[in-house]
């Protein structure tokens, strides 16, 4: 039998971040584990452990969470939950163009509109509020949960403010779904409404909005529009994966490319995905041959 020649590690491959010994594949949500079992057992285990690390770190160390998400994508490039983790980690770490690309890939793979609020906010992050509004008008936004519809409304209100349209910003937050918000989400809505009202010069109305909440409630509500940590841990996706879905290109796109219209972005992603599938296969084979490393002083394996 012909011996298989040894393959040298790919010089262009980034080093994987270290995964502590207490991280277990079983810590993932059952549905996520099911998604990953389309891979070999070894690849599923390794990708899954990086996803666990994304969930652990995304609130406290989004940069390191991003590195773990990239490691997961290198091993599970055809799996929606890997791209979801990459998109959310990119968003949390301010890589908005990359977040858009990854979350659009997720939507192509599973058909879910659940990340429309993050996609819209990423457009705002890139200085494109008009495109955030287009995202908010997506017909499938009506399929979002009530909480996600409120999140999207707050993003669109902010986009209207970006465009110098405070009256429209207030109007966006007058819907019935928004008024039904409770708890921390209601406090966040009040903060968004107060900002829009103040921009209109209605300072007393803005103060009245906030007066319904304690300072502790307002402090708890303060922060950017983003998904709750529990949702990220679970990676809550649709039940039926798209078996014919393709992964997107690896690596970050430039902001200049991301400024093209959405159709061009999608066309480029789809054509690049076909080329990247073969690279993903090679990456998987290399990973199966390479042992896990241990961390250096910076916590990265070599």
What is the residue extent of each domain of the chain?
Answer: 9-112+263-291, 114-224
Residue 17 is given by DSSP the state B
Picking from 208, 204, 144, the residue whose alpha carbon sits closest to that of residue 178 is: 144
- Cα gap 112→124, rounded to integer Å: 21
Q: What is the pLDDT of residue 222?
A: 85
Contact 67, 93 (CB under 8 A): no
Low-confidence ranges of the chain (pLDDT < 70): 1-12, 223-302
Architecture of domain 9-112+263-291: Alpha Horseshoe (1.25)
Query: What pLDDT, on the 0 to 100 scale, is given for residue 259?
Result: 40
Query: Contact 135/124 with Cβ under 8 angstroms?
Result: no
Task: Give the integer Cα–Cα distance in Å for 107 and 72.
Answer: 18
Q: What is the pLDDT of residue 11?
A: 59
**DSSP bridge pairs for 17:** 300
Architecture of domain 114-224: Alpha Horseshoe (1.25)
pLDDT of residue 176: 85
pLDDT of 52 reads 97
Residue 277: per-residue pLDDT = 37
Element spanning 176, H or E: helix 176-179
Give the number of other CB atoms < 10 A from CB of residue 296: 11
Query: What is the reported pLDDT for 249?
Result: 38
Pair 7, 280: CB distance under 8 Å: no
Please say whether the beta carbons of 88 and 70 come within 8 A: no
pLDDT of residue 271: 44
CA distance 40 to 54: 21
CATH topology identical between 9-112+263-291 and 114-224 = yes
Determine the pLDDT at residue 14.
82
């Amino acid at each position: 039998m012909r011996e298989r020649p040894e393959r040298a590690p790919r010089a262009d491959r980034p080093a994987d971040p270290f995964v502590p010994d207490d991280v277990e594949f079983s810590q993932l949500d059952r549905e996520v584990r099911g998604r990953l079992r389309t891979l070999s057992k070894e690849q599923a285990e390794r990708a899954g452990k990086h996803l666990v690390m994304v969930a652990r770190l995304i609130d406290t160390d989004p940069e390191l969470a991003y590195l773990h998400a990239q490691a997961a994508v290198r091993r599970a490039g055809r799996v929606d939950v890997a791209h979801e983790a990459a998109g959310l980690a990119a968003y949390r770490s301010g890589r908005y163009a990359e977040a858009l690309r990854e979350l659009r890939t997720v939507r192509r793979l599973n058909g879910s509109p659940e990340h429309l609020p993050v996609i819209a906010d990423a457009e705002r992050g890139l200085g494109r509020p008009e495109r955030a509004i287009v995202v908010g008008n997506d017909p499938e936004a009506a399929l979002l949960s009530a909480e996600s519809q409120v999140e999207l409304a707050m993003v669109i209100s902010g986009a209207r403010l970006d465009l110098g349209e405070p009256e429209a910003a207030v109007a966006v937050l007058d819907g019935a779904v928004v008024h039904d918000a409770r708890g921390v989400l209601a406090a966040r809505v009040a903060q968004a409404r107060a900002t829009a009202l103040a921009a209109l010069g209605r300072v007393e109305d803005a103060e009245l909005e906030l007066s319904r909440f304690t300072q502790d409630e307002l402090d708890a509500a303060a922060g950017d529009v983003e998904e709750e940590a529990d949702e990220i841990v679970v990676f809550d996706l649709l039940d039926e994966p798209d078996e014919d879905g393709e992964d997107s290109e690896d690596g970050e796109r430039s902001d200049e490319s991301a400024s093209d219209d959405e159709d061009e972005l999608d066309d480029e992603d789809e054509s690049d995905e076909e080329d990247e599938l073969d690279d993903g296969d090679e990456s998987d084979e290399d990973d199966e041959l390479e042992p896990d490393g241990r961390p250096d002083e910076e916590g990265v394996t070599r």
